[in-house]
Amino acid sequence: MHEDLCRDGEQVGDHSAVRTHTRGSPAPQRTGTFALPEGSSPCKRCCG
């Protein structure tokens, strides 16, 4: 997945993510990175 990040109608960065579904796991995991002018920020969450 890839999305542009906008503020006040102007693109200020982007976001890329991958969602992984594992057999036997109740919730998929999502790992991504926000690329902003100040640098990148990784993120990880479990979707329920």
By percentage, how much of the chain surpasses pLDDT 70? 81
Residue pair 35/22 in contact (Cβ under 8 Å)? The answer is no
Residue pair 32/16 in contact (Cβ under 8 Å)? The answer is yes
How high is the mean pLDDT of the chain?
Answer: 80
pLDDT at 47: 47
CA distance 33 to 36: 10
Q: What is the pTM of this model?
A: 0.52
